[in-house]
Amino acid sequence: MKLIIDVGNTLVKCAVFQDSEIVEHVSFKLSRFVSELKSLRKAFPAIEKAIISSVGRLNERQLHVLRQHFKLLQLNSDTKLPFKNLYATPKTLGVDRLALVSASVKFYPDKNVLIIDAGTCVTYDFITSENHYLGGAISPGLRLRYKVLNNLTANLPLLDTKAPEHFIGNSTNEAIHSGVVNGLSREIDGVINDYGAKYPDLTVILTGGDAKLLSNQLKNSIFAVSNFLLEGLNFILDYNSK
Residues in the chain: 242
List Cβ neighbours of 134 (8 Å cut-off, separation of 6 or more): 86, 87, 126, 127, 128
Nearest to 172 by CA among 151, 145, 148, 149: 149
Residues at the binding site for K(+) are 117
Residues annotated within a binding site: 6-13, 87, 94-97, 117, 120, 172
Tell me, yes or no, if 96 is annotated catalytic: yes
Annotated binding site for substrate: 87, 94-97, 172
* CA–CA gap between residue 117 and residue 209 (Å, rounded): 8
DSSP 86: -
Q: At what angle do helices 183-198 and 142-151 cross, to 10 degrees?
A: 130
Contact 175/86 with Cβ under 8 angstroms?
A: no
Q: Which of 19, 96, 110, 238 is catalytic?
A: 96
Catalytic sites, residue numbers: 96
